[in-house]
Chain A
Amino acid sequence: MTVEHAHAGHAQAQAQHGDMPFMSMVDVTKDLPRSRDGLPMEWVEVPFGPMFPGLPGGLLLTLTLDGDAVAKTRVRSVVGGGGVLPTAGLDATSFIAHLGAMDPLAPVAYRLLACRALEAAAGQVPDEEIRRRRIAVLERERIASHLGWLAMLGLQTGFAWLERHATRMQLECLRADLPRILQLRSTIQALTARLVRTPLLRSRLHGSGIVRPSSDLRGPVARAAGMRCDARIDDETYAALAFEMTERQGGDAFDRLHIRLGEMQQSLALIQSVGGFAEPASTVVGSASGAGHASLETPRGEAQLHLVLESGRVVQAQLDTPTTHHMKLLPDLLDQQELGDALTTVCSLDLSPWEVAA
């Protein structure tokens, strides 16, 4: 990555210096863009991504830096398919696999979303025990996803211990059976206590990327800003498991950390209440036709799926994902933030570029 920022310009300035009797800074800086404080600065456009340590792979963030403050932001995904369907449509099993493969960061959540939408379109209601066990798998994925986010936060903020520890726990969690995942409880509690007690982490995150309640907020980002926004609140199965939503009021990166740490413990309690897992890999819809809608709280927030089923084939699908909404926040959110704070803010939103159409 190279930026044509300076040297040619300085050579020119030096040449002018030789010709002029007096080195006028006004003349040298007259064509440079002005910062908010009126200071003329040479702005530099720097790409962060699509493979950048501390940001999700596939996210291309282009920041125009005024000194080390962000003056302009452009963001896009270079990997996401956004759940686009093949034109010929898909049978139910293939559709579930297709949606699950869309986001490698939350495959279970999107497979379950597809199952629920298909069942709604076919007018089927799965067995209560199956629904509970599917929830357990989703909650296991939520823990793994939040641990993965913690590892990314560690990498982004230079907290090497957190990066290694959370990565190791995430890998364990992804493969864990019920006894093993329950054994992780004490480790997760210790991790939570330690992170909350680390004053330098608190000062690093506190006040970074403050978001105010708005219709574009989803999941932990919304709940950290004091919004009662969780698809699990209206879910009967979750209600039967005595699920209660957690929220905070600050809306900054530290509140988002708190929410995710709390959710990991909550998810462990839900898994313990259910007592088993059932992978949402397939559902039987036969040759049913109809329209179905489902919503589900993925680790990043509520995702919604509308689909049309014709003779057992999905011919139309419309997906709404949390990252689609959160990416819209970035230009305003990062404006005039110091570079380090801006990148921490992006990291704290836990974006998945796979959820957005490239």
Chain B
Amino acid sequence: MNRARELLAPWQPSVREPFDLARAGHLLRRGAFGGSLALRRSLVARGVDAALDELFDPSSDPQLDAGFTDVVAFDDIERVRAYWVWRMVQGPPRIRARMTLFWHDHFATSNVKVRSARLMARQLQLFERAGLGKFDALLLEVSRDPAMVRWLDSESNVRGRANENYARELFELFTLGVGQYSEQDVKEAARAFTGWHLRGESFAFRQRFHDGAAKRVLGRRGALGGEDVVALAAAHPASARFVARKLLAFFVHPRPTTAEVDALAAAYRDAGRDLGATLRVLLRSRLFFSPRAWRSRIKSPVDFVVGMVRCLGGRAAPLRLTRAIADMGQVLLEPPNVAGWPGERAWMTSATWLARTNFAGRLFTAAYKTHPAAATVLERPRPAQRADLAIELLLDGVIDDTARQAIHRLAETGVPPADLLHAVQCLPEGHLL
């Protein structure tokens, strides 16, 4: 227990380990979608606690949110996708925005089957609204979310002919993981969800299709309804560890240790399964700022593209960005299946590496018009200064000596600044989160 406490104890900045550009960059990349050099510098000046306050700022931006109303009205999946990417690029650095992507991968719903841009947009709105609250409340809302109802066939789940799809994925992929429940649990939980249908495009409980007889689910007996099953699954001890593991894999390291999972699961229970409170502990922890977490994940296409544009502090046409993200293997709102994207090394293939490399090249070549930060590289008179600024801009200034020397040599050949930025971004470090 002591060791567990140590892992999540608040990280203390010191002279040897200050809250510097690298740590501010790490916090912004993992907790948001990255940020400009100016933002990183201002966070360093304000300190780690102020940086966390910024990340966890609960206020919402009505101008940013107004777009949801528009895309819901348009009902065009390309527009929803582009709007979402635009939010990621233009929005303030918020953990809330980051969690929307996390939940989209966790509750992976695809428009290939839902076939309604409107419902997909409403699901994103749900993640944005409830993604940092209590897990129990989020899970209940997701279970009644119209896109989810269509995605996992809840509408064909009726008394006498139960459809197990939602019940199974609820246990297997959303809360417990394989091995923590029995086939009987799935069968009886499916009966508890009978009648959870839609009327038009809204959730409707239809009593006459509901099986009101007694069931036994996860050790509890009674005339259980869907709400009871959701509450049982969320409160199950395996669920705390399951959620903790997913959060650690997303925020800290792709393969969390048992000790790490135990520690975060305990913190999550202590916080009454409040996700915002749990994440605040995690992102302030020694573990989060440890070498184990630093550049230990491979950027997803969203991280790569959105992060690069935010790094430059500039703008880009969102539709072009969503297509670039798709070229790199991530079609937002169409995850490959209900388990979400495999992620990490699976992102990197010959084809997707080329897509990343060529997109970066095009972005930097075009950058001078639209990205003020990129233009500053031009203004540095000496090649070494240009090289160092490029490394600072894109890699928080952290790179080993041999790589730095190689970038310096490249700068001395007098290549255009766009090529310099391109080369820095294409270093292996440029693909690490």
Report whether chain A binds chain B: no
Query: Which positions in A face B, CB cutoff 8 Å?
Result: none
Query: Which positions in B face A, CB cutoff 8 Å?
Result: none
